[in-house]
Amino acid sequence: MIKLNLAAGLLALMAAAPTLAQTAPSPTAAPGLALVRPTMETEPVDHEGDAADDPAIWVHPSDPAKSAIIATDKKGGMLVYDLSGKRLQYLPDGRMNNVDLRGGFKLGGRRVTLVAASDRTRKAIALYTIDPETRQLTSVADGVQATGLSDPYGLCMYRDRKGGTFVFVSDPQGLVRQWKLTATPAGKVRAQAVRDLRFDTQTEGCVADDATGALYVAEEDVALWKLGADAKTGAARKAIARVADNPALKDDLEGVGLYAQPGGKGYLVVSSQGNNSYAVFRREGDNAYVGSFGVAANDQAGIDGISGTDGLDVSSASLGAGLESGAFVAQDDDNAAPPGRQNFKLVPWSAIAAKLKL
C-alpha cells in the first residue's frame, strides 16, 4: 500500500540521519539522505497503474553475467529480465504478487532452482523452475496449490540446514502461513501447510536467513519482526525496529531483502515506502540500524530515481562486471522519466556500501 503524506516522513528521516553523507536534494528523497543512482532499469510491465510489484535475483551457476531478475506483474503474470533490463519471458499466469527462489531443490533426479510466487488469481502458490541455459520459467506445481488464504499477498522462501524447502505466504488480515514443498514422483511440486503465524495487522515483505534460521517479517504499519523460520520454533518474535520508535521509518514497511556475507555478517534492507527510502540493519547481533539511503535519478544514463517501492531484493553474489559485490533491485512506483508503466531498477551494492560506509 502507498501513503502520500510524504512531507512529515521526509523531515523525520532527515532528523534520523544527520551523520549520513551530505548530498544534493532529490525529488524522491530528503536532503541529507545518502543517495545512490541506478545503473539499469528494466523494460516496463505490460499493465498500467500499480502493476509491477516484487523482484528476485537469480544467480547463474557458472556465468554471473547471465544472471537474471525474476519479477511479478500483479495485474498479469511473471517476468524474467536479463541484467541489461531486457525482457526474456512473460508468462500471463495470473495476478502474481510476490516472488522468491531457492536453489538445490531435488526434482526429477536433479537439483533445480525453485521459484515461488503468490498467485492472487487462484489464491494459490505458483511454482516454477528456471532453466539455466534459456533463463525461462516452467511451471512445476502439482495442480493448483491452494492456500486457503483470503488473498495470497507477501511471500518468501526458506531452505533449512537439512535441505527442506519452505514457503511463507501472508494474508492481508495478518495471517502468515508456512508450507513445506515436496517433490512428487512425477516431477511436480506440492505444498503442505506446517504452521500459522498471526500478526495484528497486514504484513507483506519478508525474508528468511537460511544460515541462521531467522525469519524477518514486515508488519507494514508497525514493525520489522524477527522470528524463527523453523516451524517448530512457534510464534515467539522480537521487534527489530518499530515505525513509531525509529524516525527513519515511515509506513508502509514493504519489501525486505538480505545481503548475506561470510561468517554470519551482512545486512537487511527494508523499503520504507512512506518516505521513499531504504533502511539498512545489520544481519548479526541485535540487527542494529546502520542508516538509510534513497535512489536518485541517473541523468547521464537517462534513468529516473525510485519512489514508493513495494518489493525489493539484494544479492551479495557477483553478477559480473560492475556488479562484483552484488546488487540491489527494487520496484519503482512512478517510472517518471520518460513517463511510462512501472518497472524495476538496479543499483550496484558497491555504491550503497560506499555511501553508508558499510
3-state secondary structure of 21: coil
Flag whether 111 is in a domain: yes
Residue 139: count other Cβ atoms within 10 Å of its Cβ: 14
What pLDDT does 31 receive? 55
- The answer to whether residue 345 is domain-embedded is yes
Residues 180, 163, 89, CA angle at the centre, nearest 5°? 70
- Say which residue, 24 or 239, is predicted with more confidence: 239
pLDDT for 291 equals 96
Q: What percent of the chain has pLDDT over 70?
A: 91
Please compute the mean of the pLDDT values over residues 101-123 and round it to a whole number.
Answer: 97
Q: What is the mean pLDDT of the chain?
A: 92
**Is there a contact between 141 and 189 (Cβ–Cβ < 8 Å)?**
yes
For the chain, the residue count is: 358
pLDDT tens, 321-349?
A: 999 999 999 999 999 877 899 999 999 99
For the ranges 123-127, 237-241, 336-340, the lowest mean pLDDT is seen at 336-340
**Is residue 37 a contact partner of residue 295, using CB atoms and an 8 Å limit?**
yes
Give the pLDDT of residue 30: 55
How many C-alpha atoms does 119 have within 13 Å on its Cβ side? 24
Strand partners, 19: none
Domain CATH number, residue 178: 2.120.10.30
Tell me, yes or no, whether 322 lies in a domain: yes
pLDDT in tens, 261-301: 999 999 999 999 999 999 999 999 999 999 999 999 999 99
Least confident of 5-14, 94-103, 259-268, 348-357: 5-14
pLDDT in tens, 18-59: 333 333 334 444 557 999 999 999 999 999 999 999 999 999
- Contacts of residue 150, defined as CB under 8 A and 6 or more positions apart, other chains included, come to 123, 171, 172, 173
Average pLDDT for 106-130: 97
Tell me how far apart the alpha carbons of residues 138 and 313 are, in angstroms, rounded to a whole number: 22
Residue 351 CA to residue 6 CA, distance in Å, equals 25
At 23 the pLDDT is 32
For 95-106, the pLDDT digits (tens) are 999 999 999 999
3-state SS class at 352: helix
* Calpha distance 26→34 (Å, rounded): 10
Domain count, the chain: 1
- The reply to whether 80 falls in a domain is yes
Give yes or no for residue 227 having a pLDDT over 80: yes
CB 33 within 8 A of CB 14: yes
Pure H helices in 177-221: none
- CA dist., res. 358 & res. 356, Å (int): 5
Q: Can you tell me which residue has the cell 553478477? A: 319
Which range marks the domain in which residue 258 is found?
6-356
Model's pTM, two decimal places? 0.91
Q: What is the pLDDT of residue 287?
A: 98
The Cα–Cα gap between 89 and 140 comes to 17
* Structural domain includes residue 1: no
Question: For residue 16, what pLDDT band results from cuts at 50, 70 and 90?
Answer: very low
Question: What phi and psi, each to the nearest 5 degrees, are found at residue 158?
Answer: -150, 135
Q: 27-36, 127-136, 164-173, 178-187: which range is least confident on average? A: 27-36
Backbone angles phi, psi at 36, to 5 degrees: -125, 170
Asked whether the predicted pLDDT for residue 91 surpasses 50, the reply is: yes
